[in-house]
Amino acid sequence: MSDAIVELRHVYKNYGDVTVLKDINITLEEGKFYTLLGPSGSGKTTILRAIAGFLNVSAGDIMIAGKRVNDLPANQRDVNTVFQDYALFPHMNVFENVAYGLRIRKVDKNSIENRVLDALKMVRLDNLAYREISELSGGQQQRVAIARAIVLEPKVLLLDEPLSALDAKLRKDMQYELRDLQQRLGITFLFVTHDQEEALALSDEIFIMNDSVVQQSGTPVDIYDEPINHFVADFIGESNIVDGRMVEDYRVKFNGKVFECSDAGMKPDEHVEVVLRPEDLDIVPQEKGKVTVSIDTQLFRGDFYEIVAYDDGQNEWLIHSTNPAPEDGTMVGLYFDPEDIHVMRFGESEEDFDARLESYEGE
Ligand code: ADP
C-alpha cells in the first residue's frame, strides 16, 4: 500500500432505521492536513468518532496504518482527539493536564518532564506550564488541549471544531498556528468544521459532507473550480447556478444562447446546471456582454462591491467587482470566459465525475 495512514472502506452507521453514514470511503495519507466540511448533522463528527473508536460502525472497515481496527478499543488506536470544548481538567495546572496521558501510560518521570515541555513549546505555552487552567484565555486553553493530544505522539490528530469557541480574530490567528503546527509535526490532521473559508484556507484536501455522504473530495482549488453538484457549488463560495442544456462537447446553452465552455462528456442535449462564480463576471457595456442584465442593488463590502442584477427572465445574478456598478436600473452586459463556465450534471457521483474528467482531459 501507499503511505495511507487511515482508511475508511464502505463504512455505514445506522441508528435504528436512520442511516447517518452511507458508504464512506476516505483515505488519509501521512503528514497531510485533511478537513471534513459540511453543514450541521451531515455526519462529520460521527466519522471522527468512528476513527477514534468512540462508536462502532454498522458496516465497513476502519484501517489505521494498514490494520483493521474495528474491534480495537479507543485507547489502543494510534490517534488522538482535540474536542470542541477542550475537555481539560480544571483542577490541574497546564503541565499536569498535558502529563496526564503519559502518567496513565506509566512513562518514566524524566521522560514525562521532557515530553510535556516539548509539547508545550510546540504550542508556545512553555512559559505558562504551571498556570492553572482557570487563569488561561480561550486561545491558551485551546493550545493546552492540542499539547495534551500531541504529547502522546499519535500518527493522526482528530480535531472536532476546535476553533468554534473562539472569537473571529483569535480564530484567524489559530488557523495559521494550526496549519503551521501540522507542518512542523508532520503528522496527519483530520479537522472538522462547518466553515468553508476555514476549510479552504487550511486543507491539503477537503471531504465535503452532506446527507450522510461524502459529496466530493479534492484540493480546495479543485473543489472550488470544479464543484460536482449543486450542493457543493452552493456550499463552497458563492455561485450563480442556472439551468442549461449541453448542446455538444464544449458547447452549453443557457439564457437562450449557446456558449463555448471547457466541459465535455455529457449526452447531447443533456439537462445540466451551469455555475458562474460572482468574481468571474465582469460588467461591460450591454453590446459587449454575453448576458444582459439590469443592475438592482450594490453593497460595498470593504475589498469588493457585491452587485445584484436581474436578466429578462428574472434570474438573479451576483457579481463581485473591485469597481462600483453603474446606478441601479442601468442595463449592462456580463462578460465571462469559456473556462469560467462550470457545467454540472444532475446527480453525478464522484466516481463518474472523475472518470468523465479523465476521459476528456486525456484527449
Ligand atoms: P455533524 O458532526 O456533521 O454535525 P453528526 O455526525 O454529529 O453531524 O451527526 C450526524 C447525524 O447523526 C445527525 O442527524 C445526528 O442527529 C445523528 N446522531 C448522532 N448521534 C446519534 C445517536 N447517538 N443516536 C441517534 N442519532 C444520532
Place of cell 494498514: 66
Region at 332 (left for phi over 0; alpha for psi -120 to 50; beta for the rest): beta
- The Å distance, Cα 156 to ligand 1 centre, comes to 23
The closest-lying atom of ligand 1 relative to the alpha carbon of residue 21 is 10
Q: What is the chain's alpha carbon radius of gyration, rounded to the nearest angstrom?
A: 24
Q: Is the pLDDT of residue 183 over 60?
A: yes
Instruction: Please write the tens of the pLDDT for every residue from 265-294.
Output: 999 999 999 999 999 999 999 999 999 999
- The Å distance, Cα 43 to ligand 1 centre, comes to 6
Q: 15 in ligand 1 pocket by Cβ < 6 Å?
A: yes
Q: 185 in ligand 1 pocket by Cβ < 6 Å?
A: no
The answer to which of 42-46, 267-271, 333-337 has the lowest mean pLDDT is 267-271
The closest-lying atom of ligand 1 relative to the alpha carbon of residue 192 is 2
Binned at pLDDT 50, 70 and 90, residue 354 comes out as confident
Q: Is the pLDDT of residue 168 over 90?
A: no
Reduced to 3 states (helix: H, G, I; strand: E, B; else coil), residue 286 is helix
Instruction: Give the type of residue at 318.
Output: L
Please state the rounded mean pLDDT for residues 192-203: 93
Which residue's C-alpha comes closest to atom 19 of ligand 1?
46
- The Å distance, Cα 59 to ligand 1 centre, comes to 17
| Grid coordinates belonging to 257 | 444562447
* Greatest Cα-to-Cα distance within the chain, rounded to the nearest angstrom: 78
Q: 46 in ligand 1 pocket by Cβ < 6 Å?
A: yes
- The Å distance, Cα 212 to ligand 1 centre, comes to 9
- In DSSP notation, 76-141 reads GSSEEEE-TT----TTSBHHHHHHHHHHHTT--HHHHHHHHHHHHHHTT-GGGTT-BGGGS-HHHH
- The Å distance, Cα 224 to ligand 1 centre, comes to 27
pLDDT at 1: 47
- The Å distance, Cα 80 to ligand 1 centre, comes to 20
Q: 20 in ligand 1 pocket by Cβ < 6 Å?
A: yes
Instruction: Give the type of residue at 113.
Output: E
Q: Answer whether 151's CB lies under 8 Å from 96's CB.
A: no
Q: 44 in ligand 1 pocket by Cβ < 6 Å?
A: yes
pLDDT at 363: 59
- The Å distance, Cα 41 to ligand 1 centre, comes to 6
Alpha-carbon dihedral 229, 230, 235, 236, rounded to 10 degrees: 50
- The Å distance, Cα 298 to ligand 1 centre, comes to 40
Q: Which of 14, 17, 20 gets mutated to test ligand 1 (max ligand atoms within 8 A of its CB)?
A: 20
The closest-lying atom of ligand 1 relative to the alpha carbon of residue 16 is 25
CATH numbers and ranges of domains, the chain: 4-225 (3.40.50.300), 237-361 (2.40.50.140)
The closest-lying atom of ligand 1 relative to the alpha carbon of residue 15 is 25
Please state the rounded mean pLDDT for residues 170-191: 91
pLDDT at 362: 63
